[in-house]
Every structure is written in structure tokens, then in C-alpha cells.
Amino acid sequence: MWKTFCLSLLVAGLFSCQEGKRYQSFKPGEIWLDNAEVHINAHGGGILYDGGRYYWFGEHKTEGEAGNRANVGVHCYSSDDLYNWIDEGIALSVEPEGSGSPIEKGCILERPKVIHNAKTGKYVMWFHLEPKGMGYRGAQSGVAVSDQVTGPYQFLHAGRINAGKWAANASEELKNAPVPALEDAYSGGELPGHPDSLNIHKRDLEGGQMARDMNLFVDDDGKAYHIYASEENSTLQIAQLTDDYTDHNGVYIRCFAGRFMEAPAMFKHNGKYYLMMSGCTGWASNAARSAVADSVLGEWKELGNPCVDADSATTYHSQSTYILPMPGHPDKFIYMGDRWTPENAIDGRYIWLPLEFDGDRFVIHWQDEWKM
Ligand code: DGJ
């Protein structure tokens, strides 16, 4: 009797274990089901490794073109092997329509990232926010916090960045140059000249710097950084966060001025800092860029396209969203990218590929299927 009971427990255990382990490999670009057999809905996402588990946060998209707007919020999944993901629900919910909240349903809320603050014990989420009805003109950043990794996250504030503060590497020339008069000033679309000739950095000094595509990076000393496409997307900026990670502390740099980079993702390897970015072509994929520096706050040196196989000119039909360091494996990283489907946002696919080092640069090869 006791033997039969133990055996049935063992069989049930084995079954449930296999049930939770549908995948044993990555298949970039294919439908990727969660534990409820639903395609994972966490676009423009990033991963936090916390308490021995991986937490994947990303944009919850809905059907059709309108699904690119934030109709639900930020979705969270968890995993212990990176192949199989459990739906942990909506970590940050949008506020009801008509509430007037900056994160009201129908706003644009993109590229959410979560980091943990060891001092306060809080989980801190940052995201690119375009309040409803502003198109992409808002160029704001939003912050939300939670005591639990999976949420619910409470929205704190949103806005432009470091109002009244010059970038640490802003040249005296730029500081003293005039901002073009209104009739010559930039009013959307392609920039008529180099961004420095338009002095967008100075234009936005008082109201704060723009921030669209973004990421976060926490260094070994606990300092956290916000990396974002600024100055009408023409120039990347890297800004230090306050000790509690919920604001900026006024220290920041401009880099790659006039290079129009989006989708930044930062990581550290052998004491050097690396960045991967895309060009700036809306939802359409383009050739990735990479760069290296001895310190987060620069000088940054471009290294070129890290993708080396066929379709490298489109980053294998994807755009970077995060580079995941493998805990316990200092030389192993995973490139995480989005293959956007803007006409039916919810169908977007995930391109995860191993990232390798080739001398001083990193490279990403295409693989139809791979294992860690
Ligand atoms: C490219 C960005 O990387 C995406 O996050 C999104 O903002 C699209 N542009 C919108 O066109």
C-alpha cells in the first residue's frame, strides 16, 4: 500500500516536472509558449536574475496595429532554465482610460526594465513613456517600484531627464552656441543638419533631455545607469541614477552624437563595458552597432556590426532589447532581440542568440536552434 502510494507520487512528480519542461533548446523566431500554452507576451523586454530565478519583463502587446499601444501593461514571466517560462501576470498595469494618469490605457509604454536596489530592498522598473495623445513627442521616462519582484509595481513619476543640467562632456562650444531661432529649428522628421548645429542638447536644457528607447545597467559597485536615445534620437545619453535608483542624479554624458542609435543594451566583460544598439528605422530592422569603453561614462568607441552571418544587415530580422549575462559563467551572454510585427503587435517573436567574444569585439552568429 505504502509502496504504491510512493510510486504514484514519484510518477506524478515526474509528469508534472516534464509538463513544466516543454523546451530543452532555443528556437529563435518561433512561437514560444508559456506554461499556459500561450505565446509569451513580453516585447522590448529585459531580464532580472533574482533569488536563483530569471524574471522576464516586457511590453504586453495586443492584437492588430493598435496593439502597439499600452492597453494592458508590463507582463512578467519567471523561469529557472531560460527555456520554459511561467506566466507571473501583469507586473505594472496601465490606469483606466480617462483617469488622466501618465500611464493611462492607450499611452505608449515601451522597453520596460527592472533592477533590484540592495539598499532599499525595492524592485525598480523604468520604461519609455509617451503619454496618451502625444505620439512620440513626449520622450519621457517613467518609474515604478515594488516590494516583490513580480509586482504589483506602483507608478511613481514620469518626465524628461536632468532638467537644468549639462552633460558632463558637453563642449564649451555647444554651451555657448545659440539654439537656432524658431523658424529654423527642428520640427520633426529628418534632421536638416548635424544635431550639434541644431543644439538640441541646449534646446532641452531647461525642460530636461528627451529619452525614448532605453535600458538600465547596474555596475559591480551598485551604481545604476539609464541609457537612452535622446536629442530627437540623434544622440545616445548615459545617465547615472540616484542611490535608490528612482531618479537621475545629474551626472550624464552624450555619446555617438548624430549617429541615430536606438535599442541600447549594455553589459560588462573582463572589466570593459560594451553596448549594442540598432540604427533608427522605426519597426523595420537594420544593421546593429556595437561599442566598447573602459568606463560607463565613456569614452565610447564604435566597433561595428556584431552580426556576422547572412542577414547581418537586419540583425537577423531583429532589434536588440537586452544582453543577458549568464550567472556563474563570466564569458557567456545571450543576445535578446525583438522581431517586431507592427501590423499585429501581439505576434512579435523573440530572437535569442549566443553572444561570443572575438578578441576585443563581440560577435553574434545565427542559429536555427541552440542549447546553452
Ligand atoms: C523603434 C523602437 O526601437 C521601438 O521600441 C519602437 O519605439 C518603434 N521604433 C516605434 O516605431
Rg over alpha carbons for the chain, rounded to the nearest Å, is: 21
Taking the complete model, does pTM exceed 0.75, yes or no?
Answer: yes
Tell me, what's the pLDDT at 16? Answer: 43
- Nearest atom in ligand 1 to the alpha carbon of residue 110 is 5
Tell me, what's the pLDDT at 181? Answer: 73
- 278: Cβ contacts below 8 Å, ≥ 6 apart: 261, 262, 263, 285, 286, 287, 288, 289, 315, 319, 320
Name the residue ranges covered by the structural domains of the chain: 33-159
Tell me, what's the pLDDT at 272? Answer: 97
**Fold (topology level) of 33-159:** Tachylectin-2; Chain A (2.115.10)
The answer to whether the CB of 196 is under 6 A from ligand 1 is no
Check if the beta carbon of residue 323 is closer than 8 Å to that of residue 273: no
The answer to whether the CB of 213 is under 6 A from ligand 1 is yes
Among candidate residues 155, 157, 152, the one with its CA nearest the CA of residue 141: 157
- Residue 28 CA to residue 179 CA, distance in Å, equals 46
Tell me, what's the pLDDT at 15? Answer: 40
Tell me, what's the pLDDT at 336? Answer: 98
Tell me, what's the pLDDT at 183? Answer: 60
Q: Indicate which residue's Cα is closest to atom 1 of ligand 1.
A: 282
Kindly report, residue by residue over 323-365, the tens digit of the pLDDT: 999 888 888 999 999 999 999 999 999 999 999 999 889 999 9
Tell me, what's the pLDDT at 188? Answer: 67
Kindly report, residue by residue over 204-233, the tens digit of the pLDDT: 999 999 999 999 999 999 999 999 999 999
The answer to whether the CB of 111 is under 6 A from ligand 1 is yes
- Residue 226 CA to residue 208 CA, distance in Å, equals 14
- Nearest atom in ligand 1 to the alpha carbon of residue 262 is 3
Q: Which of 127, 213, 215, 338 to mutate to test the pocket of ligand 1 (most atoms within 8 A of CB)?
A: 213
Tell me, what's the pLDDT at 328? Answer: 83
The answer to whether the CB of 122 is under 6 A from ligand 1 is no
Q: Indicate which residue's Cα is closest to atom 10 of ligand 1.
A: 282
The answer to whether the CB of 130 is under 6 A from ligand 1 is no
Q: Residue 306 is which amino acid? A: P
- 190: Cβ contacts below 8 Å, ≥ 6 apart: none
Successive 10-residue mean pLDDT values, the chain, 372 residues? 43 46 96 98 98 98 98 98 98 97 98 98 98 94 98 98 98 92 66 82 97 98 98 96 98 96 97 97 97 98 98 98 91 96 98 94 98 93
The answer to whether the CB of 34 is under 6 A from ligand 1 is no
Q: Hey, what's the cell of 24?
A: 530543452
| C-alpha of residue 116 to centroid of ligand 1, in Å | 26
- Nearest atom in ligand 1 to the alpha carbon of residue 44 is 5
Q: Indicate which residue's Cα is closest to atom 9 of ligand 1.
A: 282
CB-based burial, 264-294: b 16+ in 10 Å, e otherwise: bbbbbbeeebbbbbbbbeeeebbebbbbbbe
The answer to whether the CB of 44 is under 6 A from ligand 1 is yes
